[in-house]
Amino acid sequence: MTMTSPSRSVLAVAAHADDEVLGAGGTLAAHARAGDRVHLLVLSASATSRPGEDHDQVRAHRAACVKKAAALYDAPVQIADFPDNAFDTAARLAITQTIEAAVARFRPQILYTHSAADLSLDHRITAEAVAAATRPQPGSTVATVLAWEVRSATEWGTGEPFRPTWFQPLTDQDLAVKEQAMEAYASEMRPWPHTRSVRAVLAAARVRGAQVGHEAAEAFEVVRHTAVTPT
């Protein structure tokens, strides 16, 4: 994707706080650098899957991390309150309607979200809810829906593998912003050689770049792309 068109609205829909950075942190930086308007929807900042933790305290901390990362893209952020690692206990319609409301509010031309290939059930439910919320209808602003990969979720999936067909080259500046955003989520990252360590995530960006002849890139599956009709 080249970032040379007139200013566009971009929406990233993440199941959990940090997914948007792991999956598309450099791409969102490229959008912001190009003058596009970046927006974030995080469906859960809770930690109900971690026994013994103060859930309110963790949620407040993660919400602060979301806002710190979003500031790097000058991005408005909306944080919902669906239960962490338990999206299957929430009404699917409620998740879909939350995404629909964000689409109506931000009117994105491009939407980034999770791949249905992920091991995480929350990620797969988010992918399905995005597909439902962005069904092509007259008047819809969403022309492109792209699914990102998240280290420690996408490569560990047991169903259909992640098959990227859309690559966003990243400049050193874009990669530096992605790294800064990961630092904002330091409590969610893991030490090397974990696949969700900063070093591993940056290495994956280098590999994706090499696959398409660039220094670095992020890779996506095309969920849907509607070409602009010439006028």
* pLDDT computed for residue 52 by the predictor: 61
Residues 99, 41: contact at Cβ < 8 Å? yes
- Is CATH 3.40.50.10320 correct for 9-225? yes
Helices and strands, number each (H, E), in the chain: 6, 7
Answer whether residue 63 shows pLDDT above 70.
yes
13, containing H or E segment: strand 9-16
Q: Sheet harboring 9-16: ordered strands across?
A: 77-79, 37-44, 9-16, 110-114, 144-148, 217-225, 166-169
Q: How confident is the model at residue 56 (pLDDT cuts 50, 70, 90)?
A: confident
**In the predicted structure, residue 47 carries a pLDDT above the cut 80:** no
For residues 74-79, average pLDDT: 97
Task: Decide if pLDDT at 207 tops 80.
Answer: yes
- Each domain of the chain, given as residue ranges in start order, spans 9-225
pTM score above 0.75? yes
HSE (side-chain half, CA atoms, 13 Å) at 67: 8
Q: Which two tokens stand for residue 198?
A: 């900063």
Higher per-residue confidence, 150 vs 5: 150
Mean pLDDT score across all residues of the chain: 94
Band (pLDDT 50/70/90 cuts) for residue 5 is: low
CA gap 38, 52 in Å, rounded: 35
Q: Of 52-66, 170-184, 188-202, which gets the smallest average pLDDT?
A: 52-66
